[in-house]
Every structure is written in structure tokens, then in C-alpha cells.
Amino acid sequence: MTHLSDIGEDALIQRLVRLVPLDPSPAAGPGDDCAVVDPGPGHSKLQLLKTDALVEHVHFLPEAAPRAVGWKACARVMSDFAAMGGQPERFLVTLALPPHTPVAWVENLYLGIGECLRHFGGVLAGGETSSVPPSSAAVISIAATGSVLRHHLTLRSTAKPGHALLVTGTLGGSRHAKHLTFSPRLREAAWLVSHFKPAAMMDLSDGLARDLPRLAAASGCGFVVEPSALPLTAGCTVEQALGDGEDFEMLLALEDARVDELLAAWCDVFPELALTRIGRLVEAGAGETLAGGWEHFAPGLGIKH
């Protein structure tokens, strides 16, 4: 019998989408940061759909501050909208909690969600609550809609060999509370798609070592990374930068000839946030491989944080 630990998350998704009806003409199919729905001619914007879940003992520990957990649950979805060049709109929150969960914990969770919505935009439209057995982990699931201008839509699958690879911010160290306090790069991504639209973009949730191969494969490319160029969070190693995960920075591909101009403009607009060239895309079958990153169904990994 084949188990989830035998095939992993990416292979599981490939199997599952073959079992259900799919949009015959999607604006973007399964595999990008968000689903994309085209409302038809005459509409300047495309609709973005996203769902994401936080599981206790996987994405947060029981002792984590509930307000920070709520912020993270909401901000993860915001980060995916940013990766597509879009903006958030309406949110649905589903809670599956053990009966002994303190009411104050749930209220503080919602304070964190509300803080994130007020800061980055978006409103609560509804949700659902459910109990789970007393010994079960708490689950916070958020579904949301967003939108993106047609000419701003940015996918993972549209880069080419020769394009430069860049990342925002620093990488590594998410396990030291950074994963609960990160800021989704909505403002930065909106500026990028307006001034230097990337050839491809995604957010880094499972670690550069896991996510970069996904972007490269979606675009039919290989890749080369310069380890010495990686922007490390203070106190972190290259291995942590590649594999810790949950950095929620933007990984983007851009035509090589535009990189210097972008970096100069970026320094003027976002002087406190690094943007670093870390490598390039190459022809499929060439380049290198990376080890590390988060795999949800890998045996023996324990918790993500």
C-alpha cells in the first residue's frame, strides 16, 4: 500500500487534480500560489482564490501567543495574493478546536486576524466552527478572495532560461518566532508588478530549497544558485536559509538586462528591505539540485515550528 510519506505533497496534488472536474479554460491552473478565475471580457481584473490552514504542532506550538497565530494565519494568505501581484478582499475563517480551548484564546486569535486585515486590507465575510476530539490538534483554516489587474497577474510558469533570480528580505531563522511576525510583501509586490513586472514570482513558504525547484519546473527550466549571495538572517547559516522555510519573502525571476535598473530603483523605494540577486534560470536538465526545505508528509520530520 502506498502512503503519503512515500510520494510527498507535490506528487499527491498531481494525483488528486486528475480525479475531479477542472476549469476547462483557467486563467491559471492548480499549482500556482492562488487559483485564478477570469470573469470574462470587459472585466479589467481577474479574481484570485486562496485557502490555507494552520495546524497546531505543525505550524505553531501550543504555547504560541494566539494573537500571533491569528496574524500568521491571515498573513500567509496575504503573502500568496502578493505573489500573484494581487490584493486581498474577502476572508472566511474556519476553526476546528478541542472543547477545552479557552474562549480567551479564540478571542485573541481573532484579534490577530483583525489586526492583519486592518493593516493590509480585506474584510471578514464569514466562516465556520467545529469541534474536534479533545486530544486532537487545533486547526485554523482561512479561505479568501482577492483580485489582480489582468496585466499585473504574475505566475510561476512564465520565466525563461537566462532570467535572473532574486529574493526580497533575508532567509532563514523562521523557527525563532519570525514565522509568527512576518509581514507579507503586498506593498513591495504591487510596486514590482507596476514598475518591473517579474517574469515569474512566488512566495517562499517551504524554504528556497523546496520552492525554487517548483518555480523552475513550472517554467520548464533548471536553475543555478550562488550560495555566497544568499541574504542570510542574522545568525543563520546557508543551510538554514535554504531549508528553514516560512520566510514568506518573494522569489522572482526577471530579465537579466533589467536587474541593475531594478536594484537601483528598489533601494530608493524600499531602503530598509533587501532585494538580492541569488542566481539564474538555465535550460531544463541543466543546473543543480537543492536539498532541504519542508515536506509535509516526509517521515520523521516532526513539527514545522
Could you read off the pLDDT of 73-100 as tens digits, one per residue? 999 999 999 999 999 999 999 999 999 9
247 and 277 share a domain?
Answer: yes
Q: Retrieve residue 252's grid coordinates.
A: 522572482
Classify residue 89: in a domain, yes or no. yes
User: Does the structure show a pLDDT above 70 at 28?
Assistant: no
Confidence class for position 18, pLDDT limits 50, 70, 90: confident
Q: Which 8-state DSSP code applies to residue 283?
A: E
**Three-state SS at 96:** strand
Where is the domain boundary, 122, 152, 182?
A: 152
pLDDT at res. 294: 72
Q: 49 to each of 14, 37, 69, 202, how far by Cα in Å?
A: 19, 8, 22, 15
Q: How far apart are CA 184 and CA 93, in angstroms?
A: 18
Q: Binning pLDDT at 50, 70 and 90, where does residue 19 land?
A: confident
- Quick one: pLDDT at residue 8? 80
3 state DSSP class of 27: coil
Q: Of 2 and 265, which is predicted with more confidence? A: 265
User: Each residue of 116-127: pLDDT tens digit?
Assistant: 999 999 999 999
CATH of the domain at 46: 3.30.1330.10
Beta bridge partners, 2, equal none
53 and 137 housed in the same domain: yes
Q: What does pLDDT average to over the chain?
A: 93
Q: pLDDT digit string (tens) for 172-220? A: 998 777 899 999 999 999 999 999 999 999 999 999 999 999 999 999 9
In a domain, 212, yes or no: yes
Q: Does residue 83 fall inside a structural domain?
A: yes
Q: Is the pLDDT of residue 304 over 60?
A: no
Instruction: Count how many domains the chain has.
Output: 2
Q: Is residue 289 part of a domain?
A: no
- Residue given cell 520530520 in the structure block: 301
Q: Are residues 14 and 117 in the same domain?
A: yes
Query: Is 140 a domain residue?
Result: yes
Residue 246: all three cell numbers together: 516560512
304 assigned to some structural domain: no
| More confidently predicted of 161 and 3 | 161
Return the pLDDT at 301: 47
Which of residues 152, 182, 211 is at a domain's end?
152
Region 11-16 average pLDDT: 84
> Would 292 be classed as within a structural domain?
no
Q: In what order do the strands lie in the sheet with 139-149?
A: 35-37, 45-55, 139-149, 87-97, 123-131
Query: Which residue segment(s) compose the domain that 137 sits in?
Result: 4-152
pLDDT band at 1 (very low <50, low <70, confident <90, very high): confident
Instruction: Return the pLDDT at 296.
Output: 76
Q: What is the pTM of this model?
A: 0.92
Return phi, psi of residue 55, to 5°: -120, 130
Is the pLDDT at 234 greater than 80? The verdict is yes
In a shared domain, residues 106 and 75: yes
Note whether residue 223 is domain-resident. Answer: yes
Q: Do residue 78 and residue 184 come from a single domain?
A: no
Give the 3-state secondary structure of residue 199.
Answer: coil
Nearest to 137 by CA among 95, 74, 179: 95
The confidence score (pLDDT) of residue 293 equals: 85
Identify whether residues 138 and 78 lie together within a single domain.
Answer: yes
Residue 81 and residue 43 share a domain: yes
Q: Are residues 170 and 122 in the same domain?
A: no
239 and 272, same domain (yes or no): yes
What CATH number has the domain bearing residue 253? 3.90.650.10
Q: 107 and 62 in one domain?
A: yes
Is 202 found in the same domain as 119? no
> Which of the listed residues 91, 121, 152 is the one where a domain comes to its end?
152
Do residue 168 and residue 33 come from a single domain?
no
Spatial distance between the Cα atoms of 181 and 50, rounded to a whole number of angstroms: 21
- Between CA 60 and CA 304 the distance in angstroms is 8
